[in-house]
Amino acid sequence: MVIFDRDGVLIVDHGYVAQIERLEWVSGAKKAVAELNAAGVAVIVATNQSGVARGLFDMEAVARFHEAMQADLALEHGRIDAFYVCPFHPDAVVEAYRCADHPDRKPNPGMINAALADFQVAPGRAIVIGDKPSDIAAARAAGVASALFTGGDLGDFIASQRLPWL
């Protein structure tokens, strides 16, 4: 199982992205997802979406954005097997999403633990690929390997990890 952060790893982080016209893939990301799918590896997204808590967009907009991602991936014979979204934030303006330390909000491991349980994957057969220290901390808290993606071609980056189960 490969668990990706979304913004800054699969797609370019333009800041609070939920508008389909702002969807821009990181180099090599669509091909990398399709190759993981072809290898029988579950591909998961675990993403903090504080824009929901900040009132910039709602969960329906996030779902439509993820549908657009899936449509793009389908053109490459790829798919995301599941999206785990945490809309909670300690400084939320939307009261329903205000939470000081939600268990799903990275660096907490809630989304990762849920993915492992839902797909019945042992932590030793998963990796989190993120672009922030909070992604790496969440992986560590879940007992999962991690890799910090700092840019470039995502497929090349995944290949450089030499994952024995790929």
DSSP the chain: -EEE-TBTTTB---SS---GGG--BPTTHHHHHHHHHHTT--EEEEEE-HHHHTTSS-HHHHHHHHHHHHHHHHTTT---SEEEEE--BTT-SSGGGB-TT-TTSTTS-HHHHHHHHHHT--GGG-EEEESSHHHHHHHHHHT-EEEE--SS-HHHHHHHT--TT-
> Which residues are catalytically annotated?
5, 7
